[in-house]
């Protein structure tokens, strides 16, 4: 029977009832093309809150129309979009989960005719323009405005997306940032947009609003990551959801670490900052944690504070309650090309089953 998975943890001033995080996962093709849902997210996230998840991070949501990573993505660039998140907040709170929304600008990975990034480049036949100072200022303001809307919706906080090669990561990573102004060059320069964004959100939202940060590890090295983590804490980040960045694609973890290299990166950074006597902020690791025993082992080894269970929670909305009760979970099948849910929730072979099974006759 797992022990540590069920222990509460405090993030900012909120108690999270256990160590299980639902990381952000876009529900592709569940949107109308204008930032509004077409499939009920209150049901989707509320179901996982009732299923026992401690902390839910709602899927990547665009801070502005130009920054969308997919046409069907949710948005928080307009006050009209608040209501759908208010219903998510109520559903998750009714299920006793703490709930945040991930905010993103996709930068050069955005859809649309004009793509911006830290530096000019070309992606296929699409020209990418270096962001001018007024674009940079607007991005910061749009993060703040979207965060204010998240707060108005009753969410407990936001997660700033600083990973997976999206805009903030395009600035922090040396291989995509060749700027010669104050937002490039040194590690401090490359980190400036991320730090100023977090500072601006903290200043506008006040001390109690949770700010998480999806951190792209290994950009370009764990040593530089450590530097940035400490500065992000000083800027106002309350916890880190550690994934990958634009750094080296594949790292081989030590032989005694049985999980995925992305999970190892999260654990390695956790250990590094603890050793340095830094951070003092909870960290979550992620990737391929399908069975509760994997998650419990990482917690028991002191390798992480929180475990993020992504596809496992798509496959089984009751993953958390079952794990805490020592029961078998409905395992994700790790479909080819990553995840069939990426096509559409209805494409997931297990999701459909678990929803049907979860619905009382
Ligand atoms: C369908 C799908 C959508 C995703 N969307 C996001 C997202 O919106 N933001 C994000 O930071 N990561 C996203 N991810 C990555 C997940 O948060 C998580 O890191 C990844 O699935 C690995 O965890 P897992 O092996 O437990 O699924 C997505 C993953 C999947 C499968």
Predicted local distance difference test score (pLDDT) of residue 276:
76
Predicted local distance difference test score (pLDDT) of residue 139:
98
Q: Is the beta carbon of 311 within 6 A of some atom in ligand 1? A: yes
Predicted local distance difference test score (pLDDT) of residue 2:
60
Q: Quote the CA–CA distance of 59 and 24 in Å, as a whole number.
A: 4
Q: What are the φ/ψ torsions at residue 191 (nearest 5 degrees)?
A: -85, -10
**Against a cut of 0.85, is the pTM above it?**
yes
Tell me if 177 sits within 8 A of 119, measured CB to CB: yes
* Ligand 1 pocket test target in 20, 21, 22, 26 with most atoms within 8 Å of CB: 26
Q: Is the beta carbon of 52 within 6 A of some atom in ligand 1? A: no
What region, left, alpha or beta, does residue 119 occupy, with left being phi > 0 and alpha being psi -120 to 50 degrees?
beta
Q: Which residue has the higher pLDDT, 161 or 341?
A: 161
Quick one: which of 180, 202, 182 has its CA closest to 192?
Answer: 182
**pLDDT tens-digit readout, 262-283:** 999 999 999 998 887 766 799 9
**pLDDT tens-digit readout, 194-231:** 999 999 999 999 999 999 999 999 888 898 999 999 99
Protein residue with least CA distance to atom 4, ligand 1 = 25
Q: Is the beta carbon of 59 within 6 A of some atom in ligand 1? A: yes
Q: Quote the CA–CA distance of 24 and 83 in Å, as a whole number.
A: 19
Lowest mean pLDDT among 61-65, 288-292, 330-334: 330-334
**pLDDT tens-digit readout, 322-342:** 999 999 998 888 886 678 887
**Average pLDDT, stretch 250-256?**
88
User: How buried is residue 8: exposed, middle or buried, by Cβ count under 10 Å (0-12/13-18/19+)?
Assistant: exposed
**Average pLDDT, stretch 117-130?**
90
Domain count, the chain: 1
Cis ω for the linkage preceding 225 (within 30 of 0): no
Could you tell me what percent of the chain has a pLDDT over 90?
82
Residue-range definition of the domain harbouring residue 154 = 4-358
**Average pLDDT, stretch 132-144?**
97
pLDDT of 103 higher than 80: yes
40: domain CATH number is 3.20.20.70
Distance of CA 23 to the CA centre of its chain: 6
Quick one: which of 302, 329, 314 has its CA closest to 7?
Answer: 302
**Average pLDDT, stretch 53-75?**
97
pLDDT of 291 higher than 90: yes
Predicted local distance difference test score (pLDDT) of residue 344:
74
pLDDT of 1 higher than 60: no
Mean pLDDT of the chain: 92
Predicted local distance difference test score (pLDDT) of residue 354:
46
Q: Where are the alpha helices (DSSP H) in the chain?
A: 41-50, 82-94, 133-152, 167-172, 187-205, 222-235, 261-275, 292-300, 311-315, 319-324, 351-358
Predicted local distance difference test score (pLDDT) of residue 218:
86
């Amino acid at each position: 029977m797992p022990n540590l998975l069920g222990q509460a943890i405090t993030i900012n001033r909120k108690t999270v009832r256990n160590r299980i995080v639902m990381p952000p996962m876009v529900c592709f093709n569940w949107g109308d093309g204008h930032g509004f849902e077409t499939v009920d997210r209150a049901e989707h996230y509320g179901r996982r809150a009732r299923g026992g998840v401690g902390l839910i991070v709602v899927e990547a949501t665009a801070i502005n129309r130009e920054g969308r990573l997919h046409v069907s993505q949710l948005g928080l660039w307009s006050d009209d979009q608040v209501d759908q998140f208010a219903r998510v907040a109520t559903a998750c709170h009714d299920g006793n989960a703490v709930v945040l929304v991930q905010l993103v600008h996709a930068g050069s990975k955005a859809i649309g005719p004009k793509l911006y990034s830290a530096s000019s480049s070309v992606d296929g036949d699409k020209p990418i323009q270096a962001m001018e100072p007024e674009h940079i200022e607007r991005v910061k303001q749009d993060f703040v405005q979207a965060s204010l809307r998240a707060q108005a919706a009753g969410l407990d906080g936001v997660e700033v997306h600083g990973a997976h090669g999206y805009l903030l990561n395009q600035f922090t990573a040396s291989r995509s940032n060749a700027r010669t102004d104050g937002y490039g060059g040194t590690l401090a320069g490359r980190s400036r947009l991320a730090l100023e964004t977090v500072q601006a959100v903290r200043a506008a939202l006040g001390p109690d609003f949770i700010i998480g940060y999806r951190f792209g590890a290994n950009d370009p090295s764990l040593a530089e990551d450590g530097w940035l983590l400490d500065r992000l804490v000083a800027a106002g980040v309350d916890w880190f959801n550690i994934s990958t960045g634009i750094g080296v694609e594949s790292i081989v973890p030590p032989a005694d670490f049985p999980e995925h290299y992305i999970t190892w990166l999260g654990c390695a950074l956790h250990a590094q900052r603890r050793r340095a006597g830094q951070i003092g902020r909870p960290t979550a690791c992620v990737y391929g944690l399908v069975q509760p025993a994997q998650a419990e082992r990482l917690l028991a080894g002191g390798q992480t504070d929180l475990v993020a269970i992504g596809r496992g929670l798509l496959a089984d909305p009751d993953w958390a309650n079952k794990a805490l009760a020592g029961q078998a979970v409905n395992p994700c099948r790790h479909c080819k090309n990553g995840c069939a849910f990426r096509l559409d929730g209805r494409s997931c072979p297990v999701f459909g089953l678990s929803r049907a099974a979860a619905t009382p006759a």
